[in-house]
Amino acid sequence: MYQVIIVIHVLLGLGVVGLVLMQQGKGADAGAGFGGGSSGSVFGAQGNASFLSRSTAILASLFFTTSLGLAVMNSQQSVTKDLIVNSQQDVPAVAPAKSVSTEVPVPVESAK
């Protein structure tokens, strides 16, 4: 169930990004008043903007809902998923390294 919600969450996120990128900025409407021709679209003069913004709002609310659901589901799990702790427990014990002598041999000069 957790994986299904994650897949839906990713698809909703991609959908929100796609819808936001398809929308025109507010500055694009100024060109339509001077005969730019961008006001005549499939959804009408304002229909396109309201349709895309309404769809974006719906997908964004579903995205937030799945985010909240995933957070609640993750908090209900009793198994700790800490990568650092698990990786240290999985490593076999290694014998300690040989101690290296830090003494430096000093050459002895012959006394003649």
DSSP 64-79: HHHHHHHHHHHHH--S
The residue range of the domain holding 53 is 46-70
The answer as to whether 80 is a domain residue is no
pLDDT at 61: 96
Reading the chain (112 residues) residue by residue, the pLDDT tens digits are 889 999 999 999 999 999 999 887 766 555 555 655 555 555 555 555 688 889 999 999 999 999 999 999 988 877 666 667 655 555 556 666 666 667 777 777 776 5
How many domains does one find in the chain? 1
What's this model's pTM, rounded to 2 decimal places?
0.53
The answer as to whether 16 is a domain residue is no
The answer as to whether 15 is a domain residue is no
The answer as to whether 109 is a domain residue is no
The answer as to whether 12 is a domain residue is no
The answer as to whether 57 is a domain residue is yes
The answer as to whether 89 is a domain residue is no
Report how far residue 66's alpha carbon sits from residue 57's, in angstroms, rounded to the nearest whole number: 14
**For the range 106-110, what are the long-range contacts, defined as Cβ-Cβ under 8 Å and sequence gap of 24 or more?**
none
